[in-house]
Structures are given as C-alpha cells and as structure tokens.
Amino acid sequence: MAHEEHGSILKALDGAKTQCYHVKAVVISGMGFFTDSYDLFVISLITKLLGRIYYQVPGSSSPGSLPDDISAAVSGVAFAGTFLGQIFFGCLGDKLGRKRVYGLTLLIMTICSICSGLSLGKDPKTVMVTLCFFRFWLGFGIGGDYPLSATIMSEYANKRTRGAFIAAVFGMQGIGILAAGAVSLLVSGLFESHFPSRAYVLDGAATTVPEADYVWRIILMFGAIPALLTYYWRVQMPETARYTALVAKNADKAASDMTKVLNVDIEASSAKHDQARVSSDQFGLFSTKFLCRHGLHLFGTASTWFLLDIAFYSQNLFQKDIFTTIGWLPPAKTMNALQELFLIARAQTIIACCSTVPGYFFTVFFIEKMGRYWIQIVGFAMMTIFMFALAIPYHHWTLPANRIGFVVLYSFTFFFSNFGPNATTFIVPAEIFPARLRSTCHGISAASGKAGAMVGSFGFAALVKALGMSNTLYIMGGINLAGLLITALIIPEPKGRSLEELTGETKPETNQEKIVV
C-alpha cells in the first residue's frame, strides 16, 4: 500500500478500506463515551430520590426534595469538572500525544464513579458535599475523553467514512443514556419488590425505606464497569500516525505503528515524505495566523456547541420536571420513593428508545450522504420548529387529552438534536484544525458546550420558576434558531476531504501525488 499511495502514510490512512482496527477503535473509544453519558445523565434520575432520603421535612404534606441550590450543584458540578477537563486534556493531548493521556481519563472516571456511590456520611450536608466533590473529578476525567476520543478516531479513519466512525463513537452517548434508564429501572424495581411500602400520602416519610439509600449508590457505581472493561485495550492502542509523524516528528515510530495497524509493510521514508509535504509554518493557537486561518471556524464550532448544549442538557436533566408539569408523571405524594424513581427512569428510557438513540444512529447512516453541514442545519431548524410548536399552544398541551401529543413533539426535539447538532458539533472540530492543535481546539469547542450545559443545568429551573414553562420553551427555541444562523454562516463541510487538505497543512502537490477528492 505504501507504494500505491506514493510513499505516504497519510494517503494510506485516507484510502484504507474499513478494517478490524477501525471497528476496534470505535469500540474502545465508544465505551468511554458510553461511560461519559451514563455518568452525566444518570444524576437526573436520582435527584428526586436524594431529596426524599435526605431532605424530608417531618410532618410535611409532600415528599422531601433537594433545595434549589443543592439540586443545581448536584446536577451541574460534573459539568464544571468536564469543562476544565476538556481544556486541560485537550491541550495535553497535543503536547504529550493522544495515547499517553487516554488511559488516564478512563482511570479517573472509574475511581470517581465508585467514590460517588460511596459518598461518606449520613447527614445531608456531608453526603452532598462528598457527592459533589467526586462528581466534579468524575467530570474532569469525562472532559478528557471528548477531545481525545474524537481526535484519535478522526486520525485513524479513512476520509470516505471518517464522519461515520466519529459519529459511531459519539452515538454511544445515546446507549449510555439508555443504560442509565435501564439500570435505574432494574435496581429500583428489584428493591421495590423486596422492600415494598405505601404511597407518601398514606404513610408519609415511612414510605422511603432505609434500603433506598443503597439504590442511588448502586446506580452511580455501575458507571465504573464499562470503563474498567476497556481500560487495558485503551492503553494498548498505538499513537496515531498523524501525531507521531507530523507533531512528534518520529518517522520510524509512525511507520512501525501503522505497519501493525494497516497490516502492511510501511517504511520510515513514507512518514518522512509526509513530513516534507506538510507546511513548516508552525503558528501557535494565539498567533495572528491562527486567528486569520482558523479563528472564525473556532468561533463557529465553540458557539454552536455552546448554544446546542444549553437546550440539550436542559431537556435531558430536567425532563422529569417537564413530565410532571404536563401531568405525564403522577404527583409525587401518590407514590413511594422507589416507585417515583422507577417511573422517572421509565419515562427517560421510553424517550431514549423512541428518539434519542435512533437520532444518533441516523447520523451514523446519513452523515457521509448528507454531510455535516446539512445535518447540523436541519437539526437546528427542526429543534427550533418543535420548540415553538410546544411553546405557542402550551396550554393546549397541558390538557390531559393532549399530553401524549406533547411527549411526541418533545421526543422529536431529542431526535433532531441527535440527528443533528449534538453529533456534528462533536465531529467537525476533530476534522478542521491542524494536527498540532486539533485536540486543543476540540477541547475548547467542547468546553464551550459544557459552559452551555452549565447554563442549562443551573439556569433552566430558575427560568421555569421565574417565567413559567411556556416562556422557557420560547427561549430554548430562540437559542436553537441562533445555532442555525451561526451554522449557516460559518461551519464548513469536511465530507470527503483529507484532514490535511481541510486544515491547509499540506503543500501543493504535483502530478501523480495530487490528492483526488
């Protein structure tokens, strides 16, 4: 293959047929994302249970609930850690290499998943402080997984199916959300069958059985299992040839690694050929040249991810409140603690099965046909339409006869966020920035998204309380519309083009060496 591709490792990678190593890379990276999404989204399922266990007011007519500030902290602290982890590990991935820090992120996630479930103490303050502490560091490890997984997959993949492979990695987020609901259903159902109790309205605080304290801990600790299963294979992955050859400038190592990956003999001269073709103009992130060449793209990837995550995480973390508001879930006082968790998990699982997971895999199937640009445009457009369709006749949807219609439209917003910008905002930053800054720029874009997630997690409940659900849905529609406009004006289309061509790293080629797109 080295001879056929004119002595170029990069062209060999771009033109490679789909092989076992592609699938293996998707699985290894994807299991990290499965763990990421499980850990981030499972917290929304157990906050009601935490409120009943630790914040019950004796003699109250309604079950205990987390105070607003505690609820926001528990829901959002992992995003603060993720925000910092994305920037830190993104930069580290460009400085030390993708592989050297890839296993570390998984190790942090494993340890902190376990420690979150073992949060110390029995009094509310101690439990919440330790839970928030470990979830912050859990988020820090999760943050590193975003730029590293995306960058590794983009640099391993061929140019024909690169988008589909990166989308497949990100699609494991949907499976993680589904798993969070399924595990919560299973654990709460088992405990309810063994430790039954009556509705709160009948027995008050006694309906929250002492064993319920084990339920949320088991659910949180489950997140460590998939991370542990793939740790060995992650640390055994070779460094990407693009980093080794173009950034680390180690031609022998790049040739050796890619010989194993591609199952063909590749000589070090191939990597040296690639090094000669790549521009020696090594401008930095804060240089004027970067600003001129890639500044607008970085603004586009960061801002669209920021806007998307405000709406996306608001919907995910607080969907239980939306379902309660429209009456899809019965009043809390008519259930015991484990029944409430079971019904919340069931609602999330139904949404995940019907809209969230299909949306991710529609992206995998269509991304090389439609391209990243049009999927993101259509996704933002449909999210805008469905949000306004919920907001304008909001009173109509709250009537008992129309609640199923609300859930259907609400599910479509999830479908088109995942068959749309939730996937493409992850994919595009891994393709359009130079190799030496790729992980850093992806980390910055992802961190902007998590800033949006923090706005959503801390601000959504406050908005609903201050303005009402209808006005909040109007605001979410406006945010999606802003994402549509920025996408239309700034985001490029990377489909079918090599990474080096997209970033302008390669020098002009002559005759037979020219890349055909």
How does pLDDT run across 112-129, given as a tens digit for each residue? 999 999 987 778 999 999
Give one word for 476, left, alpha or beta, with left for phi > 0 and alpha for psi -120 to 50: alpha
DSSP one-letter code for 355: I
Asked if 140 and 105 count as a contact pair (C-beta separation under 8 A), the reply is no
Show me where the domains of the chain are located: 17-503
Across 109-123, b (16+ Cβ under 10 Å) vs e yields bbbbbbbbbebeeee
Task: Note the pLDDT tens digit of each residue in 261-317.
Answer: 776 667 767 667 666 666 666 778 888 989 999 999 999 999 999 999 998 877 765
Q: Which of 239 and 373 is assigned the larger pLDDT?
A: 373
Task: Note the pLDDT tens digit of each residue in 435-476.
Answer: 889 999 999 999 999 999 888 877 777 787 788 888 888 999
pLDDT of residue 327: 67
Ranges 73-87, 262-276, 363-377: which has the least confidence: 262-276
For 168, the 3-state DSSP assignment is: helix
CB count, 10 Å around CB of 97? 18
Q: How confident is the model at residue 49 (pLDDT cuts 50, 70, 90)?
A: very high
CB count, 10 Å around CB of 216? 25
> Which amino acid, one-letter code, is at 321?
D
CB count, 10 Å around CB of 408? 12
511 has a pLDDT exceeding 60:
no
CB count, 10 Å around CB of 189? 16
Ranges 2-6, 193-197, 199-203, 513-517: which has the least confidence: 513-517
pLDDT of residue 192: 93
Rounded (to 5) percent helix, strand, coil in the chain:
80, 0, 20
200 has a pLDDT exceeding 90:
no
For 299, the 3-state DSSP assignment is: helix
Angle at CA 99, nearest 5°, toward 94 and 100? 80
Across 363-381, b (16+ Cβ under 10 Å) vs e yields bbebbbebbbbbbbbbbbb
Task: Report the alpha-carbon distance of residue 323 to residue 327 in Å, rounded.
Answer: 6
For 278, the 3-state DSSP assignment is: strand
The radius of gyration of the chain's CA atoms, rounded to the nearest angstrom, is 24
pLDDT of residue 512: 38
pLDDT of residue 507: 57
For 508, the 3-state DSSP assignment is: coil
Instruction: Return mean pLDDT, the chain.
Output: 86
Helices (H), 195-318: 200-203, 212-221, 224-236, 241-242, 251-262, 268-277, 288-290, 296-317
> Which amino acid, one-letter code, is at 423?
A
Task: Note the pLDDT tens digit of each residue in 310-336.
Answer: 988 777 656 666 666 666 678 888 899
Rounded average pLDDT over 430-439:
93
Task: Note the pLDDT tens digit of each residue in 8-31.
Answer: 777 878 887 878 888 888 888 888
Backbone angles phi, psi at 278, to 5 degrees: -85, 135
509 has a pLDDT exceeding 80:
no
Judging by beta carbons within 10 Å of its beta carbon (0-12, 13-18, 19+), is residue 44 exposed, middle or buried? buried
Across 217-256, b (16+ Cβ under 10 Å) vs e yields bbbbebbbebbbebbeebeebbbbbbbbbbbeebbebbbb
Asked if 487 and 421 count as a contact pair (C-beta separation under 8 A), the reply is yes
Task: Report the alpha-carbon distance of residue 496 to residue 14 in Å, rounded.
Answer: 10
**Percent of all residues in the chain with a pLDDT value above 70, rounded to a whole number:** 90
Task: Report the alpha-carbon distance of residue 515 to residue 517 in Å, rounded.
Answer: 6
pLDDT of residue 230: 84
Task: Note the pLDDT tens digit of each residue in 166-179.
Answer: 999 999 988 999 99
Q: How confident is the model at residue 260 (pLDDT cuts 50, 70, 90)?
A: confident
For 506, the 3-state DSSP assignment is: strand
pLDDT of residue 506: 67
Q: Does domain 17-503 have CATH number 3.40.50.720?
A: no
Highest mean pLDDT out of 15-19, 55-59, 236-240, 365-369: 365-369
Task: Report the alpha-carbon distance of residue 482 to residue 142 in Å, rounded.
Answer: 27
Task: Report the alpha-carbon distance of residue 72 to residue 486 in Å, rounded.
Answer: 29
pLDDT of residue 517: 32
pLDDT of residue 375: 96
Rounded average pLDDT over 408-413:
84
